Amino acid sequence: MRLFAANAALMAPMAGYTDAAFRHLCVEQGAGLTYTEMVSAVGLHYGSEKTAGLLAFADNEARLGVQLFASRPDALSSSIRYLEDRYGSRIALFDINMGCPAPKITSGGQGCALMRDLPLASRLIQAAADAAQAPVTVKFRKGWDDASVNAVAFAQMAEQSGAAAVTVHGRTRAQFYNGRSDWGIIAMVKAAVRIPVIGNGDIYTAQDAAEMRRVTGCDAVMAARGALGNPFLFREIKSLFESGAVLPPAGFEEKATALLRQARLACAARGEAAAMRQIRKHAAWYLKGARGAARLREAAVRVTTYSNLKDLLEHALGCVLDIPEP
**Same domain for 279 and 149:** no
**Same domain for 282 and 239:** no
User: Last residue of a domain, which of 243, 268, 286?
Assistant: 243
Q: What is the pLDDT of residues 310-321, one digit of tens each?
A: 999 999 999 888
- C-alpha distances in angstroms, 134 versus 2, 31, 75, 119, 131? 11, 20, 17, 23, 9
Q: What is the pLDDT of residue 7?
A: 67
Q: What is the pLDDT of residues 96-120, one digit of tens each?
A: 999 999 999 999 999 999 999 999 9
**Same domain for 256 and 227:** no
**Same domain for 257 and 184:** no
Cα 260 to Cα 258: distance, rounded to the nearest angstrom = 5
**Same domain for 91 and 147:** yes
**Same domain for 223 and 135:** yes
Cα 250 to Cα 288: distance, rounded to the nearest angstrom = 12
Cα 238 to Cα 224: distance, rounded to the nearest angstrom = 16
Cα 155 to Cα 159: distance, rounded to the nearest angstrom = 6
Give CA torsion, residues 123, 68, 35, 218, to 10 deg. Answer: -30
Residue 326 lies in a domain: no
Residue 2 lies in a domain: no
Q: What is the DSSP string of 174-189?
A: TTTT-S---HHHHHHH
Number of folded domains in the chain? 2
pTM, two decimal places: 0.95
Q: What is the pLDDT of residues 176-195, one digit of tens each?
A: 999 999 999 999 999 999 99
User: Last residue of a domain, which of 243, 264, 280?
Assistant: 243
Residues that are catalytic? 100
Q: Is the pLDDT of residue 1 over 50?
A: no
**What DSSP character marks residue 321?**
-
Residue 193 lies in a domain: yes
**Same domain for 89 and 110:** yes
User: Last residue of a domain, which of 243, 272, 288?
Assistant: 243
- Nearest alpha-carbon partner for 232 in 254, 201, 264: 254
Q: Are strands 165-172 and 136-143 parallel, antiparallel or unpaired?
A: parallel
Q: What is the pLDDT of residues 66-76, one digit of tens each?
A: 999 999 999 99
Q: Are 142 and 172 in contact (CB under 8 A)?
A: yes
Residue 113 lies in a domain: yes
**What DSSP character marks residue 170?**
E
Residue 276 lies in a domain: yes
**Same domain for 256 and 138:** no
Considering all CA atoms of the chain, what is the largest pairwise distance in Å, rounded to the nearest integer?
A: 59
- C-alpha distances in angstroms, 241 versus 6, 174, 197? 9, 33, 17
Q: Which one has a higher pLDDT value, 10 or 49?
A: 10
**What DSSP character marks residue 71?**
S
Q: Give the domain range for residue 140.
A: 9-243
Q: What is the pLDDT of residue 323?
A: 79
Q: Is the pLDDT of residue 212 over 60?
A: yes
Query: DSSP E strands: which ranges in the chain?
Result: 9-11, 39-40, 64-69, 91-98, 136-143, 165-172, 197-200, 220-223
Q: Is the pLDDT of residue 199 over 80?
A: yes
**Same domain for 307 and 190:** no
Q: Are 11 and 248 in contact (CB under 8 A)?
A: no
Give the burial string for 22-59 (b: 16+ CB within 10 Å, else e). bbbbbbbbbbbbbbbbbbbbbbbbeeeeebbebbbbbe
Q: What is the pLDDT of residue 52?
A: 73
**Same domain for 167 and 39:** yes
Hey, how many other C-beta atoms are within 10 angstroms of the C-beta on 215? 13
Residue 1 lies in a domain: no
Q: What is the pLDDT of residues 12-44, one digit of tens each?
A: 999 999 999 999 999 999 999 999 999 999 998
Q: Are strands 9-11 and 39-40 parallel, antiparallel or unpaired?
A: unpaired
- C-alpha distances in angstroms, 41 versus 98, 135, 208? 13, 17, 33
- Nearest alpha-carbon partner for 76 in 125, 36, 114: 125
Residue 279 lies in a domain: yes
**Same domain for 265 and 190:** no
**Same domain for 312 and 184:** no
Write the CATH number for 124.
3.20.20.70
